[in-house]
Amino acid sequence: MKLRGLYAITDSTLLAGKFLSYVEAALEGGVTLLQYRDKSSDEARRLREAEALRDLCERYKTQLIINDDAELAARLNVGVHLGQTDGPLSPTRALLGSKAIIGSTCHAQLELAEQAAKEGASYVAFGRFFNSNTKPGAPSCSLDLLDEAKRTLHLPICAIGGITLDNAAPLVAHGVDLLAVVHGLFGAQSTAEVTRRARAFNELLKI
């Protein structure tokens, strides 16, 4: 599959009390990848929620990605996104197989992206590009880096960090394939607005 479009990322605090309804609203608007991101230690709840998301994603033909947990991804037969503190990517590729989608956080460093590509990443993620509620301390990233990445990497490029409908257009103009969005999508007041925003993000990417 071509990895291009909206990359929705869940936030357990932001989505408290409306988790599945808001996720389904996003899927209704069109989501290429959905990342389940939950940093809690409640493994039973995480498994339950991830299973519910897998079933939803199957219905909408969206790929589910688990944040930072290759074992849970293997259990559900879905993809995974790894941060720089999660160790090398190669063992995860061996665990999940050649077809699984594996993404890698590369912050603002092209060298990290080149290493991830060598180890079998399916896409690389750069960011943050704007002030981010989710990762306020992350180093900021420039549009020039995207230009360089587009020239040197032959992988889909994902941008993350404070992305909204108002600021996403320059990222697309500089070659981004995936727009990873948390608050800019799920910080809406209604499910209808979540769906509208999802469609609008995809229009920016001409999906």
Length of the chain: 207
Task: Mark 188-198 as b/e (b = at least 16 C-beta within 10 Å).
Answer: beebeebbebb
Tell whether 67 is in a known binding site: yes
Q: Judge whether 185 and 7 are in contact, CB under 8 Å.
A: no
Tell whether 55 is in a known binding site: no
Tell whether 62 is in a known binding site: no
Tell whether 118 is in a known binding site: no
Tell whether 68 is in a known binding site: yes
Return d(Cα 153, Cα 163) in angstroms, integer. Answer: 22
Tell whether 166 is in a known binding site: no
Tell whether 115 is in a known binding site: no
Tell whether 167 is in a known binding site: no
Tell whether 37 is in a known binding site: yes
Tell whether 12 is in a known binding site: no
Max distance between CA atoms of the chain, in angstroms, equals: 43
Helix (H, G, I), strand (E, B) or coil at 175: coil
Known binding residues for Mg(2+) are 68, 86
Q: Which residues are annotated as a binding site?
A: 35-39, 67-68, 86, 105, 132-135, 162
